Structure 1
């Protein structure tokens, strides 16, 4: 389960944050992605001021890692770049060839590498079990040489497994999967597409020889969301039944593919709503909803089978 998004400064410590993480652990979760964002101003900005607000501080990140480890959770540290003007990070991009006076991929990757390597140092110092070096960077995905150079720098300071979280439908488009240790993607596939998309991804995983899991997957508890699970703003009424229907279909399809190593569900906030308000909550978090009980039972059953 992903915890703490978007990593707003001041929200990752204190009683509310600790209670939220305990509630998540109580759902049978055994891994968490601690996901936080640094903001660049526009899709063509080249500076990523990751040490400035609203991004969580290093102390908050360390606190969250230690809190997760104290609860017996394995941690994937997941630093992400977002765009302050509201553009999706997938649209961050520059000219293919450098042009004098225009921002360049080289300038951006220099700033992005500093951000990711800083996170890698924290992950190493705190014993994080995995590091995710990027999320849904669709336009940047084609910059193979820059990503390989970034991975090489990360490996200088972090000894654990490295993954990259490609966007949905992009698993068969990346050319540098061999550079990372684990393939992962955002599996926000419509409820009736799971078998089709898993069949498309399977040859990629087989050819790579790498483990694969869904670094993100999930569905809001909202009418219409099973058909468009990636649309967090889709109009609709709160519906725990719709969220449950989606998860049942997703895990039934995944359960027929032994090459899928797991799911890192989206998402669990650092400040959790009251359980009494769950029926009126239409976001991704399953806390207090039918999907929460289903996930707890499913996770615990899988863990019992794994230990048998």
Structure 2
């Protein structure tokens, strides 16, 4: 698999956002200023609560199919590879990792079967779009920690998706969960959210490598990044951390992450988090404490890495499993 020099684009974009000229300008700037070769379009369907079984992927909270297709086609006109990543959020703010149901069906209670029926419709809908627009990969879920134990349902979902899409299929597990998913053999590419503390990359890469050896599958970080906020480099997954804007800490995090992963031949790239379809003004970058890198020192760190990256000398993975 070719190395993924990627960025997640347009997260939480709403109906009509991709039709705005600013969105195309943003995608063009993303390529020019970070040297990506791949863009990941992440979508956010909604269910009302963690125990709701109906997933809404047709409301105004999502870009329309037509504008998504148009943006994918525009990305390809820029020479970018494209990955589609349909995810689900909970309307009441609960993190999707906590979507959960009884393991045994109980009368008058919502069931995993009902939820997966709706979730499969959702994934198959976008599988058809991914197929029609020649996306190189489809990521069929993200950080669904409680749901991951439902091995047979995931296997059936992937079988259904393959009826609609012929490209590579991945699943994006959460940080620290790489060695807990039991159905990695069903996907083509293993991926995870690499929000690891800056000082702990060596330990986590050693652990993940054992999973990759076991399944002999390509791997990349489908999410990774750090806010430009003091303290974020130690807990980069915490978007609610309080701290002063700190552009240098964000840049340093990227430097360390790239340094630690560059020598790992089995790490096949990143889909960094994240680049907005509707950017803040560049002069406001110094006051922005979020994950965005537009106009910040981290932007140059990323461009330098992506521009200069070449495959490392093939290393021999550790056999201490």
| Worse-matched range after superposition: 275-284 or 177-186 | 275-284
| Alignment-derived partner of residue 72 in structure 1 | 79
The ranges of structure 1 where at least 4 consecutive aligned residues each deviate by more than 4 angstroms after the TM superposition are: 303-306
Partner of 1:62: 69
Equivalent of 1:141, from 137, 140, 148?
A: 148
Q: How does 1:38-53 map to 2 (within 5 A)?
A: 38-53=45-60
What are the Cα deviations for residues 125-154 of structure 1, in whole angstroms up to 9, with x where unaligned?
A: 000010000000000000000000000001
Q: Deviations over 1:211-242 (max 9, x none)?
A: 00000000001111000100111111111100
Contact kept, 8 Å, 2:265 with 2:312, in 1: the verdict is: no
Distance 1:197 1:39 in 2: 32
Hey, what's the Cα distance between the residues in 1 that align with 2:305 and 2:88? 32
1:267-282 equivalences in 2 (<5 Å): 267-282=274-289
Alpha-carbon separation, structure 2, partners of 1:92 and 1:208: 27
CA apart distance, 1:84: 0.3
For the residues of structure 1 that align with 2:310 and 2:138, how far apart are their CA atoms? 23
| 1:105 corresponds to | 112
Match of 2:14 among 5, 8, 30: 8
| Structure 1 contact 94–105 (Cα < 8 Å) conserved | yes
Distance 1:232 1:12 in 2: 25
1:213 aligns with 2:220: yes
Q: Do 1:212 and 1:259's aligned partners in 2 also have CA atoms closer than 8 Å?
A: yes
Deviation at 1:161, TM superposition (A): 0.2
- The alpha carbon displacement at 1:304 in A equals 10
Partner of residue 182, structure 1: 189
Q: CA deviation at 1:102?
A: 0.2
Question: What's the CA shift string for 1:151-210, capped at 9, x where partnerless?
Answer: 000100100000000000000000000000000000000111100000000010011110
Matched residue, 1:17 = 23
- Residue deviations 1:226-268, cap 9 Å, x none? 0010011111111110001101111111012111011110000
TM-aligned CA deviation for residue 303 of structure 1: 5.7
Following the alignment from structure 1 to structure 2, what is the Cα–Cα distance between the partners of residues 36 and 18? Answer: 17
Corresponding residue to 1:37 among 37, 44, 47: 44
1: CA distance, partners of 2:201 / 2:312: 24
SS of residue paired to 2:18: coil
- Which ranges of structure 2 fall in alignment gaps of 5 or more residues? 1-6, 314-321
CA contact (8 A) 2:263 2:312 kept: no
Separation in 1, partners of 2:90, 2:311: 42
RMSD of aligned residue pairs (Cα, Å): 1.3
TM-score where L is the length of structure 2: 0.93
1:127 partnered with 2:134: yes
Unaligned runs of 5+ in 1: none
The corresponding residue for 1:262 is 269
The CA deviation string for residues 32-61 of structure 1, in whole angstroms up to 9 with x for no partner, is: 110110100000000012112212110121
Number of residue pairs matched by the alignment: 306
Residues 1:155 and 2:162 aligned together = yes
| TM-score, reference length from structure 1 | 0.97
Residue 225 of structure 1: aligned partner: 232
| C-alpha distance in structure 1 between counterparts of 2:210 and 2:312, whole Å | 27
By how many angstroms is 1:28 displaced?
A: 0.1
Q: CA deviation at 1:7?
A: 2.9
For 1:168 and 1:282, locate their aligned partners in 2 and report how far apart those are by CA, in whole Å: 22
